[in-house]
Amino acid sequence: MFTGLSYLCDLMGKTKKRKQQAKILRNFRKVHRLTGAWLFIFFMFISVTGLLLGWKKNSNGLILADTEKGTTSEIAEWLPLDDLRQNAQQIFEDSISTKLSSEIDRIDVRPDKGILKFKFKDNFYGIQLDGATGELLKIERRRSDIIEQIHDGSILDRYLGTSNAPIKLVYTTITGLALLIFTITGFWLWYGPKQMKKTSKST
């Protein structure tokens, strides 16, 4: 009698456990589906731009311009940095635009290549100069910067002129948390049925 009662209690416990697992699985499936539906457009942007950024150095200069080679890698033989900066700004105004700002945002020094890359603050142009002669080696359209800003949402802060990048912060927080939820629920949608099947077999 006690054996039968124990078996019945065990069976009821396993049935209850299986129902709980089924409920959790339904909830995870619902969260997974809603997350995907609500943030589909963001996931698409992240995946496409991430793919392009991954291939930027292998795009034959289409996404990221190839780096040219200067006359010497000896920095001691280079022109003063301020002279090179002024030269880059003059080339920008003469060859790119007098309407766009020539204010420099970043200077990428490549001693091994003998060049400097000048990136401008309010546009997506770049200039490569020979460090020793100041000669123009390439004017580049920095498409990779555009793609990167779309990828992290900062392009909206750029065009709306917001300070401290609040849109980027909100965008990356939402998408980051969504991907985490997507990963957790996706794992449970794979693992949950296995557990339910295991529980069912043990009854």
Note the pLDDT tens digit of each residue in 22-70. 677 677 778 767 777 777 888 888 999 999 999 999 999 899 999 999 9
Domain range summary for the chain, segments of one domain joined by +: 21-63+142-203, 65-141
What local confidence, expressed as pLDDT, does residue 202 receive? Answer: 57
What local confidence, expressed as pLDDT, does residue 7 receive? Answer: 47
What local confidence, expressed as pLDDT, does residue 189 receive? Answer: 76
Phi/psi at 116 (5° precision): -130, 140
Mean pLDDT by 10 residues, the chain (203 residues): 51 60 72 74 89 93 93 95 97 95 95 96 94 96 93 88 86 88 80 69 57
What local confidence, expressed as pLDDT, does residue 30 receive? Answer: 80
What local confidence, expressed as pLDDT, does residue 35 receive? Answer: 72
Residue in the block written with tokens 């309407």: 99
